[in-house]
Amino acid sequence: MDGSPDMSQTGKIVVIWNSGAGSTEQSEHLQQRIRATRGTELLVSESREAAQDAVRAAVADGAQRIIAAGGDGTVGTVVDALTECETTSTDLAVLPLGTGNDLARSLGMPLD
């Protein structure tokens, strides 16, 4: 196995990436890996509104999982949009790339 998710089980994955998150080197490397992952779409957002629009569009398009790539603000933005969509069929995942990552720390998520 190459480490890529089995798309027959997970469905479409959309990564909502905060354009200001992560160091430049880290961002470029992770974005390349995401783009290379079959069944995964990367959407880089420049604003809260753009991120929420991307979430709504992804849910409407049948995304099975949305990954919030950024810090606490990005996660909150994605959660707000998911709540508006009233979906129960879209999972949320977090890729902690923020400065403080308080939510990720509170949940015991690895930060590296």
Please give the single-letter amino acid code of residue 86: E
Count of other CB atoms within 10 angstroms of residue 17: 24
Catalytic site residue from 2, 72, 91, 112: 72
For this structure, is 72 an active site residue? yes
Q: Nearest-CA neighbor of 77 among 103, 43, 109, 51?
A: 51
Task: Report the catalytic residues.
Answer: 72
